Amino acid sequence: MSGLPLYKEVKEKLIQALAAGEWTTGEKLPVEGDLARRFRVGIATVRAAVGELEAAGILTRKQGKGTFVSEHTNQSRLYRFFNLVRLDGVRRIPTREIISLKRGRPQTAEADLLGLSRYRNRDVWRLRSTFALDGERVGVNDSVLPAGLFPRLTKAGVGDGDVTLYALYQSNYDVNVIAVDADVHADAAPRDIAALLDVNTGHPLLNIRRRAKTYDETPVELRTSWINTAKCRFHVDQGSTV
């Protein structure tokens, strides 16, 4: 016995099945009765497990249709991981422009944070992009991704537009980001970042460093974001599904 409540055990088994690719993005899960028989539990236990995964944004219930693996393309998923709003507090979907994509060797800290020892290929991709709200550039993202997880990453696969990188990871590479951890602090703009944001070198910016994870806490991306808070605000909602 694991010592976990029964519905927690079912939840973990569902996560393991998702991690194994048994159900992919947008795919419908079996009905509650079938899941109950599979895990040899009652329907109420399955419902509690699915409810927690729904609250975490991993699954989505659609009235009259069933339960599906969540997609990053809807607004609720977008705003769960995108915390910037205009100065007036209004949310806008960001638009992205790819600046560069390069492949290379990781720094020691990057290798540790991404758990690269799990891969035969331990190279990383370095993706730099900018993002804008209402057509005005407000930030720069530097992403580091395991080449072992994204062996065929291309600019076309993560191209310009208003679809988030997490949505593209999901739709184009079958990598589903379900959680992030982040550190936020103020920092001075380096020369290259300052040039992209049209500010002076040393200008104060918000620096956000976060790690994105998929099922089983597997890291999939390190991201450093430089934000010009003269043009937007950082906003977090807490206490509901996060």
- The two tokens of residue 143 are 């992403």
**DSSP per-residue letters across 18-72:** HHTTSS-TTPBPPPHHHHHHHHTS-HHHHHHHHHHHHHTTSEEEETTTEEEE--T
* Amino acid 189: pLDDT: 98
**Three-state SS at 142:** strand
- The two tokens of residue 24 are 């992919």
Tell the burial category of 175 from Cβ atoms under 10 Å away from its Cβ (0-12, 13-18, 19+).
buried
Q: Say whether 77-234 and 6-69 share the same fold.
A: no
* Amino acid 159: pLDDT: 86
| Superfamily of chain region 77-234 | Chorismate lyase-like (3.40.1410.10)
Question: What is the CB neighbour count within 10 angstroms for residue 226?
Answer: 24
Tell the burial category of 81 from Cβ atoms under 10 Å away from its Cβ (0-12, 13-18, 19+).
buried
Q: Is residue 150 within 8 Å of 166, Cβ to Cβ?
A: no
Considering only CA atoms, which of 13, 1, 69 is closest in space to residue 45? 13
- Report the alpha-carbon distance of residue 193 to residue 137 in Å, rounded: 12
* Amino acid 240: pLDDT: 42
Q: Where are the domains of the chain?
A: 6-69, 77-234
Global pTM value: 0.81
Q: Is residue 33 within 8 Å of 27, Cβ to Cβ?
A: no
* Amino acid 64: pLDDT: 86
**Three-state SS at 166:** helix
Q: Is residue 241 within 8 Å of 208, Cβ to Cβ?
A: no
Considering only CA atoms, which of 59, 62, 95 is closest in space to residue 77? 59
* Amino acid 242: pLDDT: 32
* Amino acid 10: pLDDT: 92
Instruction: Give pLDDT < 50 ranges for the chain.
Output: 1, 240-242
Residue 223 CA: distances (Å) to CA of 19, 89, 183:
22, 24, 11
The amino acid that residue 227 corresponds to is I
The CATH architecture one would assign to domain 6-69 is Orthogonal Bundle (1.10)
* Amino acid 26: pLDDT: 85
The DSSP 8-state label assigned to residue 75 in this structure reads H
